[in-house]
Amino acid sequence: MVLDDLGSSLRGTLDRLQGKTRLDEEDVEEVVREIQRSLIQADVEIDLVMELSDEIERRALEEEPPGGTTARDFVLRIVYEEMVDLVGDSTELPLESQTILLAGLQGSGKTTTAAKMAWWFSKKGLRPAIIQTDTFRPGAYDQAEEMASRAEVSFYGDPDNDDPVEIAREGLAATEEADVHIVDTAGRHALEEGLIDEIEAIDATVDPDRRLLVMDAAIGQGAKDQAQRFEEAIGVDGVVITKLDGTAKGGGALTAVNETDSSIAFLGTGETVQDVERFEPNGFISRLLGMGDLKQLAERVERAMETGDEEEDWDPEDIMSGQFTLKDMRHQMNAMNKMGPLDQVLDMIPGLGGGIKDQLPDDAMDVTQDRMRSFEVVMDSMTEKELENPRSVGANQVRRVARGSGQPEERVQELLEQHRMMERTLKQFQGMGDADMQRMMKRMEG
């Protein structure tokens, strides 16, 4: 995740302030140094780093911490506010008819982003169309067409035409029935005149309402130049940062936002059309600083639940009434899978993200996903009765299921144990009164 390092190193420094109520100059300097180090390592441009850290230092020294706050919370609040201020609000995207032009270098993720955005708009009830004008990259047409069909949105492209401006014009006419037109353009490996001329010509023809610059999170110090060139050529209204699921540092994208005086529109977090998030400054920075982001998590859970209706006889009411079967557990597992990789989900849980993940071996998340898959296989070998009443499964049945599923008996035991654990946890939730719930929510909001 972007700037991950900042989150964990800052938490480390701040934890050392634990228990203090007043900050001395030395404390502030230490925190500021830590922030500078992390931001520079994350490829944020140096001038920007200094600007940000000076402001944090000034405020931490000059402002009076409100009564009752610890030094740690006070600094965290300032860092949080300054970072939110730096990234700014997300790019305005009214849910109405509009044309959006995507620009960026080759491989930055434009084609993928076009499909993701189209999918996102369609989930909001609009009818998007993707217009593919990339005649430069072989395979761009096929890729765009396939992704559009996966996103279940209209598509226009013309593999026999090598004039992108003409394709753009014809595409707009051919997809008249759509209300959101997303125009994907060709990139180049580097900033070349050809690229800039072409995007200017397409821009003039399409006359978009919004121009978004798509950037790979891995972009480093080159971000400034790139952002400047696109800003001069067409004007950038917003930035889309892609590949945030990887190990990228992401700081370059922050530089781009600052350079173009624009904002972030979307974040790309994977290769499928669903792996997209609308950028939300508060959530983004909370996540970065390890404060968690309940809202994003809630949205993902909701989305996973929406698409998780393949199992015909699953009724969440049953769980609330105190029953929790292996079928329920399977449903939960599927929903989890749809939310995305477990480590991303963990990032969103307040107070959990950094802490727990830091303690896990690197491959722990994969193991967990593998384990879920083997649980699926085990469940496939169980009878309806066993799924509904896992407590009735005895040693003989464990042997039979293990043989049938080709899994070791321990795996079957493990599944039953996992089920018992989840059941116990749910029981605790059910025993909770409203006051407990509210206290828990308060703590989560932090």
Nearest distance, CB of residue 297 and ligand GDP, angstroms? 19
Structure tokens at 296: 């994003």
Residues annotated within a binding site for GTP: 104-111, 184-188, 242-245
Beta bridge partners, 130, equal: 155, 182
Contact between 270 and ligand GDP by CB under 6 A: the answer reads yes
Measuring CA to CA, how many Å separate 158 from each of 25, 113, 162, 205? 64, 20, 8, 17
Rounded distance, CA 369 to CA 337, Å? 8
- Region binding ligand GDP by CB under 6 A among candidate stretches 18-26, 76-84, 90-98, 240-248: 240-248
> Taking Cα atoms as reference points, which of 270, 103, 80 lies closest to residue 196?
103
Q: Is the dihedral of CA 317, 319, 323, 326 positive or negative?
A: positive
Member of 108, 122, 258, 296 binding ligand GDP (CB under 6 A): 108
Q: Which of 13, 53, 99, 111 binds ligand GDP (CB under 6 A)?
A: 111
List strands edge to edge, sheet with 264-268. 154-156, 128-132, 180-184, 98-103, 210-216, 238-242, 264-268, 276-278
Least distance from ligand GDP to the Cβ atom of residue 244, Å: 6
Question: Residue 410 and residue 350: Cα distance in Å, rounded?
Answer: 33
* One-letter amino acid of 39: L
- For the chain, give the longest Cα–Cα distance: 73
How far apart CA 86 and CA 415 sit, in angstroms, is 46
Please select the residue that binds ligand GDP; options are 72, 243, 287, 331, rule is CB under 6 A.
Answer: 243
Site string for ligand GDP, 330-349 (x = CB under 6 A): --------------------
- Shortest distance in whole angstroms from residue 342 CB to ligand GDP: 16
Instruction: Please report, for residues 41, 189, 259, 335, the alpha-carbon distance to residue 54 in angstroms, rounded to integers and kept in the order given.
Output: 18, 36, 19, 44
Separation CA 310–CA 6 (nearest Å)? 40
Q: Does 242 bind ligand GDP (CB under 6 A)?
A: yes
Q: Which one of residues 98, 106, 205, 323 is an interface residue with ligand GDP (CB under 6 A)?
A: 106
Buried/exposed code over 136-173 (b: 16+ C-beta within 10 A; e: otherwise): beeebbebbbebbeebebbbbbbeeeeebeebbbbbbe
Using rule CB under 6 A, residue 104 touches ligand GDP: yes
If one counts every other C-beta atom within 10 angstroms of the C-beta of residue 358, the result is: 11
CA 401 centroid distance within chain: 38
* Residue in 88, 107, 220, 222 binding ligand GDP, rule: CB under 6 A: 107
Q: How far is the CB of 241 from ligand GDP (least distance, A)?
A: 8
Which lies closer to ligand GDP via its Cβ, residue 53 or residue 111?
Answer: 111
Write the interaction track for ligand GDP spanning residues 185-224; mark x where CB under 6 A is met and - where it is not.
--x-------------------------------------
Minimal CB distance to ligand GDP: which residue? 268
- In the window 128-147, what residues touch ligand GDP (CB under 6 A)? 137, 143
Q: According to the binding rule CB under 6 A, does residue 249 interact with ligand GDP?
A: no
From 33-41, 241-249, 326-334, 424-432, span contacting ligand GDP (CB under 6 A)? 241-249
Annotated binding site: 104-111, 184-188, 242-245
Question: What is the length of the chain?
Answer: 446
Nearer to ligand GDP, 91 or 269 (CB): 269
Nearest to ligand GDP of 111, 325 (CB atom) = 111
Cα separations (Å) of 230 from 150, 160, 199, 212, 236?
Answer: 30, 28, 9, 10, 7
Q: Which is nearer to ligand GDP, 37 or 137 (CB)?
A: 137
Nearer to ligand GDP, 347 or 423 (CB): 347
Q: What are phi and psi of 217, to 5 degrees?
A: -60, -20
Question: Which residue number, 244 or 379, has a Cβ lying nearer to ligand GDP?
Answer: 244
Identify the residue among 36, 112, 260, 344 touching ligand GDP (CB under 6 A). 112
**Which range in 167-175, 202-210, 266-274, 298-306 contacts ligand GDP by CB under 6 A?**
266-274
Stretch that binds ligand GDP, among 76-84, 239-247, 326-334, 395-403 (CB under 6 A): 239-247
How many other CB atoms are there within 10 angstroms of residue 441's CB atom? 10
Q: How far is the CB of 393 from ligand GDP (least distance, A)?
A: 40
- Binding ligand GDP (rule: CB under 6 A), the pick from 271, 306, 315, 445 is 271
Residue 395's closest CA among 409, 411, 415, 381? 409
CB of 217 to ligand GDP, least distance (A): 8
Residues that bind ligand GDP (CB under 6 A): 104, 106-112, 137, 143, 187, 242-243, 245-246, 268-271, 275
